[in-house]
Amino acid sequence: MHIIPSAPAKDQKAVVNIALILSVILNLAFAYAFLQNKDGKAQPNISANGCPGCNGEPNNDQQAKPSNFTLLSPYIAQMAPDDFLEKQEYFRASYYGLKQRINDTLVKENITAGIYFEDLNSGAWVGINEREKFIPSSLMKIPVAAAIMKKTERNELNLSDPVTILPDDLDYKYGNLAEKGYGYNMTIIQLTNYMFYHSDNTALRALFRQIDDNDNIDAWMNLGIPYGKVVPYLNGTNQTLFVSPKDYSNILRTLYYSGYLKRRSSQLLLLLLSKTSFKDGLPAGVPENVTVAHKIGAYELEGTFYHHDCGIIYTPHEPYILCVMTKGMPPEESNVFIRRISRIAYDYVTGDEGNNPKKQENQKANETERRTTGSGIEDWITGLAYTLSRSRENLTSTIQQ
């Protein structure tokens, strides 16, 4: 047997010292890498098992890339972490508390009304009698204006084109343009402004002559109310149109997201709607510095009043649609009621009703996530992806057996 001689004690001690030095160097290297990672200076690119593209929440010094959160809204996916955490509470999904408050008001005052509310950030909505049909009256002036704008986009009309007011255009029921008589010219943009600012019927009639049935149908369908759905609402010989608050909200949403018109056209119509002479109703329920793009409608049929106000309320972080349609109340009483509903909605959305428990809970949750973001979130996503991957494997194995 060949015996290997043992190393001298002096050499063994040198080997131990070298090992200790290497251990210290490695520990320092790991500590340095950890501190860099913790401070957000260098973030590893982790690809979780079974979850390609799940690289975790980016650190605070980086802009989130769409590829990090490919299944989320692009608007959300591109936010930096602090920006997301600051704005997360503005994407709420539940408005049950708001519905309760509005319903309590309706029951207490015994009012017949249809109400629709929609958060334009999240799409969450609540309604009370939101599908009940009402005579919209002047609310339908927006589709006419949209049809006009579409023709200008196709260069079939120009906003500066003159339109001669004819005797058949005169309508004294709403607005004061009819008092000026006929035979004079106004431009299309002037008529559109009059139609919104004063809800003027004479301006409506003059503009309506500039479009045909196809233009009208096209506007209706692309603003979210299929023309075929409108026809059954026609009431016999009077040809009175009925629309629900929920139906009508499609028009406002389509303008807000510019789903039918070009952006400059949608912007123009909403701008005109935000500068009308009607300050009661929805605008009266919010602070003066809050923009409200809205349209009123008023009509009387066989002694029954219909009065409505529908619009977009541009709160700083949570714009929303609010459409209130009433039946059986004179305009003065209806305006008081609509103002009250507008205030209830605004206070609920902004938290001005006092201590808002939901906002406090969100703030605590955000602080917790802020502390974990950029440190342990990658491990959490990796672990979750691995667990899901294992679950899929186990399920596949069970099925095969």
Give the pLDDT confidence of 375-385 residue by residue, as tens digits: 444 454 445 44
> Residue 279 is encoded by which pair of tokens?
């300050």
The DSSP string of 221-260 is: HHTT--HHHHGGG--GGG----B-HHHHHHHHHHHHTTSS
Judge whether 248 lies within some domain.
Answer: yes
Do the beta carbons of residue 256 and residue 319 sit within 8 Å? yes
Judge whether 192 lies within some domain.
Answer: no
Q: Based on the number of CB atoms within 10 Å of its own CB, is 248 exposed (0-12), middle (13-18) or buried (19 or more)? A: buried
Judge whether 385 lies within some domain.
Answer: no
Task: Provide the residue count of the chain.
Answer: 401
- Residue 223, pLDDT > 80, answer yes
Alpha-carbon dihedral sign for residues 190, 191, 195, 201: positive
- Who has greater pLDDT, 219 or 1? 219
Using alpha carbons only, what angle is made at residue 243 by residues 238 and 245, rounded to the nearest 5 degrees?
Answer: 150
Q: How many domains does the chain have?
A: 2
Q: Do residues 64 and 107 both lie within one domain?
A: no
Mean pLDDT of the chain: 77
Q: Do residues 224 and 308 both lie within one domain?
A: yes
**pLDDT tier at 106 (50, 70, 90 boundaries)?**
confident
Q: Do residues 71 and 140 both lie within one domain?
A: no
Residues 6+ apart with CB under 8 A from 250: 223, 224, 225
Q: Do residues 52 and 148 both lie within one domain?
A: no
Structural domain range at position 293: 96-157+210-350
- Residue 163, pLDDT > 70, answer yes
Least confident of 36-50, 134-148, 164-178, 309-323: 36-50
Q: Do residues 244 and 140 both lie within one domain?
A: yes
Q: Do residues 113 and 257 both lie within one domain?
A: yes
Asked whether the whole model's pTM tops 0.75, one would answer: no
Q: What is the pLDDT of residue 45?
A: 42
78-90 tens-digit pLDDT: 888 888 888 887 8
In the block, tokens 């008529």 appear at: 191
Judge whether 69 lies within some domain.
Answer: yes
Do the beta carbons of residue 98 and residue 117 sit within 8 Å? yes
Judge whether 365 lies within some domain.
Answer: no
Judge whether 205 lies within some domain.
Answer: no
Percent of the chain with pLDDT over 70: 67
Q: What is the pLDDT of residue 88?
A: 81
Say which CATH number the domain at 303 has: 3.40.710.10
Distance CA 297, CA 310 (A): 9
Mapped onto helix, strand or coil, the DSSP state of residue 81 is: helix
Judge whether 38 lies within some domain.
Answer: no
- Residue 4, pLDDT > 50, answer no
Judge whether 34 lies within some domain.
Answer: no
What does the buried/exposed string (b/e) look like for 295-323 if buried means 16 or more CB atoms within 10 Å of the residue's CB? bbbbbeeeeebbbbbbbbbbbeebbbbbb
What does the buried/exposed string (b/e) look like for 115-140 if buried means 16 or more CB atoms within 10 Å of the residue's CB? bbbbbbbbebbbbbbbebbbbbbbbb
Q: Do residues 245 and 103 both lie within one domain?
A: yes
Q: Do residues 103 and 67 both lie within one domain?
A: no
- Which of 247, 316, 308, 322 is closest to 280 using CA atoms? 308
Q: Do residues 227 and 143 both lie within one domain?
A: yes
189-206 tens-digit pLDDT: 999 999 999 999 999 999
Q: Last residue of some domain: 350, 376, 391?
A: 350
Q: Do residues 73 and 107 both lie within one domain?
A: no
Residue type, 28: L
Q: Do residues 114 and 70 both lie within one domain?
A: no
Count of helices and strands (H, E) across the chain? 14, 7
Do the beta carbons of residue 66 and residue 74 sit within 8 Å? yes
Q: Do residues 53 and 147 both lie within one domain?
A: no
Q: What is the pLDDT of residue 145?
A: 96
Distance CA 182, CA 32 (A): 84
345-385 tens-digit pLDDT: 999 999 865 445 445 445 544 454 444 444 444 454 445 44
Q: Last residue of some domain: 17, 52, 78?
A: 78
Distance CA 43, CA 37 (A): 5
- Residue 239, pLDDT > 60, answer no
Strand partners, 309: 296, 324
**pLDDT tier at 112 (50, 70, 90 boundaries)?**
confident
Q: What is the pLDDT of residue 341?
A: 96
